[in-house]
Amino acid sequence: MLDSGNFVLARNNSAVVWQSFDHPTDTLLPAQVLNRDGSLFSSFSERNFSRGRFKFILQNDGNLVLYTLNYPMADHVFAYWSTQTLGTGFQVIFNQSGYVYLTARNGTILNYMSSNGVSTDQFYQRLTLEYDGVLRHYVYPKSANSTGGRPMEWSVNVFLPSNICLRIGGDTGGGACGINGFCSLGTDQRPICGCPSGYSLIDPNDRMSGCKQDFLQQSCNQESQESDNFGFINMANTDWPGSDYAHFVSVSEDWCRQACLGDCFCAVAIFRDGNCWKKRIPLSNGRIDSSVGGKALIKIRQNNSTITNPFGGNIPSKSDRSTLIIMGSVLLGSSVFLNLLLLASVLLFVFRFKGRKSKTNIQAYTFLPGVNIRSFSFNELQEATNGFKEELGRGACSTVYKGALKDENGKVVAVKKLDKIEKEADQEFKAEVSSISRTNHKNLVQLLGYCDEGQNRLLVYEFMKTGSLANFLFENPIRPNWYKRVQIAFATARGLCYLHEECSTQIIHCDIKPQNVLLDESHIAKISDFGLAKLLKPDQTKTTTGIRGTRGYVAPEWFRNMPITVKVDVYSFGILLLELLCCRKNYEADVENECEVILADWAYDCYKEGKLSSLVADDEEAIDDIKRFEKFVMTAIWCIQEDPALRPHMKRVMHMLEGSVEVPAPPDPTSFIS
C-alpha cells in the first residue's frame, strides 16, 4: 500500500503487475489518472456501498459525462453533466497540487473540474462520486496547523453539478430523489428529498428510494362519484417534468383544478402562467426551486377524516361537512329558539375556522411573488439584533447589523436594513430579494429571509465572519497572503460566471467591488449586495437602464448611452482583480509618482514597458509566482477594455485565470473611440 493510497502488486524488480489505481470504484486520489473508457460508479446509499444509480465516465469518444443509470442495470439513462469534448478528451488527471482536469492527447488542458488547488503536503484529498449523483472534491487537513485552529474534518472544495435537482431530466428514471419524490437543494449544496402530502417513502431508511401513495387512487367507474372524495394540496415552485399526458393553455387555476379532479388518471396538476399540465403516476424527476415557478396541485383522497394542511390548521373533508348538515337538519326541527341557537353556533364555527386558517397561512408563509424563502416579522429581527445594536457596515441607503436567530439555536446572521423607504429603495429591496433568491452557489452570499412589513424592508443573510474584501485588502497592516488572494480571484470569477451563464435567469450584478465581496472564516469569497442587480429575460442579452454602480468600477458604456450587458460586470471584475494583485485601491491621490494615481492606467503602462516588478513591489510570494502574476495582469487588462466587445465573457476569464487557455497580449484599454 503506497502513501498515495495505491494498492500495488509488484515483482521483486518493482515492476507493477496490478494496481488498484487502474480499477477505481467511486473515488479518485491525487496522482491517479482516469483513461478513456474509465469510470466511477456511485454507492447505492450513504451506508450501502454496492453499485448505485450514477456513473462518471470518460467515454471512448473523448466526452466526459455524468449519467443516471437504469438501476439495477448499468445502462445509461440521462446525461446531466458533460464537458462537451467529443473527439478531444483523453485523460482525467488528479495532480499532486490538488487540481483535477481533463487533457487532450497532446497534454493541452481542456476542462478544469477542480481548479481550487490545495497542497497534498498539507491535506489529504479525494474526488468522490457520491450516492446522490454529485461529484465532490474533498480535502482533509493532515495536521491542526493546516486548519488555522478550526476542527479537523473533511470539507468540500468543489462539486459538480452545482444543482443536481435541476440538472437531472428525461422522460424516465427517478431523478435525484426517486419516483414520486421531489428534490430541493439544501444550504450545504446537498439534495434534500421529500414526498408530497399523502405519500411516504418506500424505504424509510433510504431517502432516495422514492415515494408511494398512502391512499386508494381515484376510481374510473363512471357510476362512481369518487371526485367528491378528493381534494388538492398546493406546493409552490414544484414540478415533475416529463410526467404529463395533457397540456392546456390560456386557462385559469380553477379550471385546471376541476379538470384534474374530474379525471381519474390525473394525480397532479401543474398550473403556471395560464398553462395547465395533467400528470400521471409515477412521477419522475421532481424538483422544488424558485426558478420553477407556478404551483403543483397534489390530488389526494380526503376519506372520512380531516386533511392536514401543510401550511397549518385542518380542512374539514366533504364527508365531514355532509355529516354536519344532516345532524343540523335533524335537530333543527325542535323549536325556533333552538334553530337560531344552532344557526349561530354553525356560523361561529365557520368564521372561527376561516379566520384561523387565514391567519395561519399569512403569518407562517408570506412570500413575494416567485420567492420561496422565509419571511420574518420586524419584531423578530429587532429582537435578533438586540435592537439593531451591533453595526457591521453601512451603504448608501442601508445599514447591516449582526444578529442571532433564537429559533435556530442562536445562528449568527447579518441583517441588512434599508434606511430610505422611498420608491427607489423599495425597488432595490425587491430586486435584491428577487435576484438572489433564485441563486444557489457557494460563491454567492446566501439569502436566508426577508421582512416586508409596513415601511420596514430588511434582508437576512448568512454571516460572513472575516468581513469584506475591502477590509481584507486595504485595512490589513500586513499584506494578505498571495495564494489566498489568488483563490479569492478564482472564487469571485466563479460566482460571476454562475450569475451570467448558469442561473435560470441571467443576472447582471452591476456593482462588483471589494466592499461587495465577503469572506467567511476560511477566506472563501462570496459575492453579496444584489440591490442594483438587473435581471434579463431568457431571450435577452442586453438592457437599457440608468447608471448603477460605484465610481471607479463603473464601465464606460454606462456614460455613452450604449446597451448594458454582462460585460459591465467583467469591467468591474477587472478593476477588482488589479486591486487584489497590488493590494491597493484603484484610485489613490497621495502617491509620490503621479502616473500611479490610477491603478488601471499604471498597470497597463507597467505591462507595456515590461516593468511588472514595479507592481509587485516587495511581495516576495508574488515574485516567486511571477508568471501567474503576469497572466493575471493581462487578464485584468482584457477585462477593462473600453470597448465591451473586446472584453471576454466570465467563463473565458475563468479559463484565462486557470491557465486552460492562453492569454493573448492585450491592447491599450483606452484605444476605443466612442
Any bridge partners for residue 400, and if so which? 393, 416
Question: Taking CA 619 as the corner, what is the angle to CA 615 and CA 622, rounded to the nearest 5 degrees?
Answer: 85
Distance CA 80, CA 57 (A): 12
Buried b (16+ CB within 10 A) or exposed e, 40-50: bbbbbbeeeee
Q: What are 332-341's contacts with CB under 8 Å, separation 24+?
A: none
Which grid coordinates belong to 621? 510570494
N-terminal to C-terminal alpha carbon distance within the chain: 65
| 650-658 and 482-497 helices, crossing angle to 10° | 150
| 282 cis-preceded (ω within 30 degrees of 0) | yes
**What pairing do the DSSP bridges indicate for beta strands 39-43 and 51-58?**
antiparallel
Residue with cell 421532481: 286
Question: Taking CA 330 as the corner, what is the angle to CA 324 and CA 334, rounded to the nearest 5 degrees?
Answer: 125
What region does 28 belong to: left with phi over 0, alpha with psi -120 to 50, or beta?
beta
Any bridge partners for residue 231, and if so which? 300
* SS3 of the chain: helix, strand, coil, percent, to 5: 30, 25, 45
Please choose, from the candidates 177, 378, 391, 409, the residue with its C-alpha nearest in 3D space to the C-alpha of residue 289: 177
Which grid coordinates belong to 163? 444543482
Asked if residues 230 and 214 have their Cβ atoms less than 8 Å apart, the reply is: no
Residue with cell 451603504: 395
What length is written for the chain?
674
Let me know if 334 is exposed, middle or buried by CB neighbors in 10 A (0-12, 13-18, 19+).
Answer: exposed
Cite the active site residues. Answer: 511
Residue with cell 403556471: 272
- If DSSP codes are grouped into helix, strand and coil, which group holds residue 320? helix
Please choose, from the candidates 635, 161, 652, the residue with its C-alpha nearest in 3D space to the C-alpha of residue 442: 161
Please choose, from the candidates 176, 162, 163, 192, the residue with its C-alpha nearest in 3D space to the C-alpha of residue 78: 176
- CA-atom Rg of the chain in angstroms: 29
